Amino acid sequence: MPLLLVSSGTLVLAGELHTETEVRQSYLQHGAMAQLHRWYQYYENDSVGIENQLDILAEDVAIVSANGTAEGHEAYAAAVSQLPSTWQNSHSLTSSSVEVRDDGTLGLSATITYQNVGMLEGGAVRALGISYEADLEQTDTPLPLFTRIEIESDAPVDAGEFRDLYAENRLLSLVHYWMAMVEHPNRDAAPFREVLAPEFDIDFGSGPITDVEGFAAWVAGPASSVSASRHDVHNFTYRNLADNQYELTIDLDWTGIRPDDVWMTAKTRHTWAVIDDPSERFARIQNIRVEVLEPFAVVE
């Protein structure tokens, strides 16, 4: 088991490290997960327009389900336009994995618990498991596009009380997109503007960042001090502050590889204040505060 040498010079035990490939490909996995959580939002909130749904799909996408195969944007849009607008839908992710293939494409497997109000009479909740097998292709942005999605309904499950999970999927798509941008090899600050509120206050521990110029300096400086990094997200929670306003908390296990091939690790807790306009591709961050759980340390 490797040792970590913290800045104080104290030796501490480290957990098992990821492989170099797992670190360097992490941004691809976060991009795929961002798109997966975006997929559900269209079905969960009437304010999410079809253009946001088509934005995650390749032009020649094939979507295969028990209802048949929809090929291309037009066919998919026509199919989903037939869904009753009175239905309430909820998608709770129960498992997921992303594979980066040798040809650069991505394979995504996921299972969910799906809840619906509207299919059954009297407002009863219907619930069943659903499995997804999907292919995605990389783009010149941190977000890949679905080229094929195969959807298979599994056995019914205990329905329980209906859970509105739009906010959860909305916030998790933001979290994964943020990590994909931070980890992306291009280290480009421009895409972050889409997910930052007009007025924001971010403090990663070295002082507040309150404008795009300061944020660009952070991306070009501290965020670029490693050649590759990986953020494993744990303990996601959120609460509703007001209409379309949320606070989320996540714990991050960070692994970084410096340009001199020195490995580092850290654990932090992030708290974000987020505002949401469902018509936009992503919610926006107003505030980030970071608590260090385990300080940055060099792997010996």
Q: What number of other Cβ atoms are within 10 A of residue 54's Cβ? A: 17
Supply the pLDDT for residue 72. 98
Reference 38, options 284, 282, 295; nearest CA is 282
Supply the pLDDT for residue 105. 98
CB-based contact 174:283 (threshold 8 Å) = yes
Cα dihedral value 266, 223, 195, 87, nearest 10: -40
Angle at 102 between CA 265 and CA 262, to 5 degrees: 20
Tens digits of pLDDT across the chain (300 residues): 233 323 333 333 445 789 999 999 999 999 999 999 999 999 999 999 999 999 999 999 999 999 899 999 999 999 999 999 999 999 999 999 999 999 999 999 999 999 999 999 999 999 999 999 999 999 999 999 999 999 999 989 988 999 999 999 999 999 999 999 999 999 899 999 999 999 999 999 888 999 999 999 999 988 889 999 999 999 999 999 999 999 999 999 999 999 999 999 999 999 999 999 999 999 999 999 999 999 999 998
Q: Domain spanning 50-163 has what CATH number? A: 3.10.450.50
Reference 181, options 208, 205, 215, 154; nearest CA is 215
Query: For 125-130, which contacts have Cβ atoms below 8 Å and span 24 or more sequence positions?
Result: 125/159, 125/160, 125/161, 125/162, 126/156, 126/159, 127/156, 127/157, 127/158, 127/159, 127/160, 128/153, 128/154, 128/155, 128/156, 128/157, 129/94, 129/153, 129/154, 129/155, 129/157, 130/91, 130/154
Distance CA(166)–CA(145), nearest Å, equals 21
Q: Is this structure's pTM higher than 0.85?
A: yes
Reference 262, options 229, 220, 216, 217; nearest CA is 229
What is the fold, at CATH topology level, of the domain defined by 3-24+168-299? Nuclear Transport Factor 2; Chain: A, (3.10.450)
Give bridge partners of residue 156 from the DSSP assignment: 128
Asked whether the domain spanning 50-163 has the same topology as the one spanning 3-24+168-299, the reply is yes
Supply the pLDDT for residue 222. 85
